[in-house]
Amino acid sequence: MAPLRDPALEEISEALHAAPGAETITRLSAIDAVRARILLAIEHRLYAPGEQLPPLEALAEGLDVAPITARRALETLVEDGALVRRRGRGGGTFVAASPPQIQDSAVNVFRADEDAIRLLIDQRCLMESALVAAAAERITVEECDDLEALVDAAEQATTWAAFHSADRRFHRRCAELSGLVEATSYQTTYEMLARYFLPYPLDRLGGSHREHRAIVEALRAGDGSRAATTTREHVGSLRRDMFMALPR
């Protein structure tokens, strides 16, 4: 499926990125969006104090931005004292030992999008469960094997970016296997939501892999109802776990 570049969809997407209630539609720059996502990851201890961040390229890929954008965002966060940079062997970029509570306007814009994000999660949840239910009625053994290979790829990922890429391919493939024309719209919803994903540490993703495997098992059994229920649980975990709902 080609990436959606339709002007109407762009405007929907822009509205989703806008600060609700603002007099004018304020869209975050790519740098500010990365700042917000990293600050929120730190705030919610997805990155613990003192923890090393992934290499720049992996971070940029995981957040779907250019490396230059990620580098500039990191530089501003070093200036703010949220991150520290250490040179030499064992060096890199680390979360500060006691990162300051930053009242960041970019973070506030993200927080203000909470309701729109929940709408997107609910949309994805229902759309994806309908797609896998349809896929269960027509999927072949070989296609199930292909899906399982994508689950393996996600599980073997050593960076969040690699996980995110495998996860995206898994869900796209499930949608395609439904054979429904609506799969393209689902893809739009998935991609809108992906712009809000925070770079989870890999050790938080065990549940995701188990759920992916359970979806493939249900598809293999031709059990559309179970595939739908499992998908609902899988996407539903975003409602609990995405940044705005994480326990402080």
Residue 96 or 119: which CB sits closer to its own copies?
119
Q: What is the DSSP letter of 18?
A: B
Place of tokens 């229902």: 126
> Considering the complex, what minimum distance in angstroms separates the CB of residue 161 from its own copies?
28
* Integer angstrom CA distances of residue 70 from 38, 74, 85, 142: 10, 6, 14, 39
**Residue 44 forms beta bridges with which residues?**
none
Choice between 123 and 208, CB closer to its own copies: 123
CB of 157 to its own copies, least distance (A): 28
Contact flags string 100-119 toward its own copies, x per CB under 8 A: ------------xx-xx-xx
- Say how far apart CA 221 and CA 56 lie, in whole Å: 42
Give the nearest distance from C-beta 191 to its own copies in angstroms: 12
Site residues for its own copies, window 49-88 (CB under 8 A)? none
Task: Extract the tokens encoding 200.
Answer: 């989870």
Contact region with its own copies (CB under 8 A), list: 26-34, 40-48, 53-61, 128-136:
128-136
Query: 77 vs 6, 22, 39, 117, 170, CA distance in Å?
Result: 34, 25, 8, 25, 33
Q: What is the three-state SS of 160-228?
A: HHHHHHHHHHHHHHHHHHCCCCCHHHHHHHHHHHHCCCCCCCHHHCHHHHHHHHHHHHHHHCCCHHHHH
Which CB atom, from 14 or from 57, has the smaller least distance to its own copies? 14
Q: If binding is defined by CB under 8 A, does position 134 make contact with its own copies?
A: yes
Number of residues counted as binding its own copies (CB under 8 A): 43
Alpha-carbon distance of 9 to 187, in angstroms, equals 12
Q: Does 138 bind its own copies (CB under 8 A)?
A: no
CB closer to its own copies out of 165 and 188: 188
CA-based diameter of the chain, in Å?
A: 56
Q: Which two tokens stand for residue 77?
A: 């966060």
Q: Residues 6 to 45: which contact its own copies by CB under 8 A?
A: 6-12, 14-16, 18, 20-21, 25
Beta bridge partners of 83: 95
Is 221 near its own copies (CB under 8 A)?
Answer: no
Using the rule CB under 8 A, which residue among 232, 237, 244, 245 binds its own copies? 232
Per CB under 8 A, contacts with its own copies among 165-184 are 180-182, 184
Half-sphere exposure of 22 (CA within 13 A, CB side): 17
Q: Which residues bind its own copies (CB under 8 A)?
A: 6-12, 14-16, 18, 20-21, 25, 112-113, 115-116, 118-119, 122-123, 125-127, 129-131, 133-134, 137, 180-182, 184-186, 188-189, 224-225, 228, 232
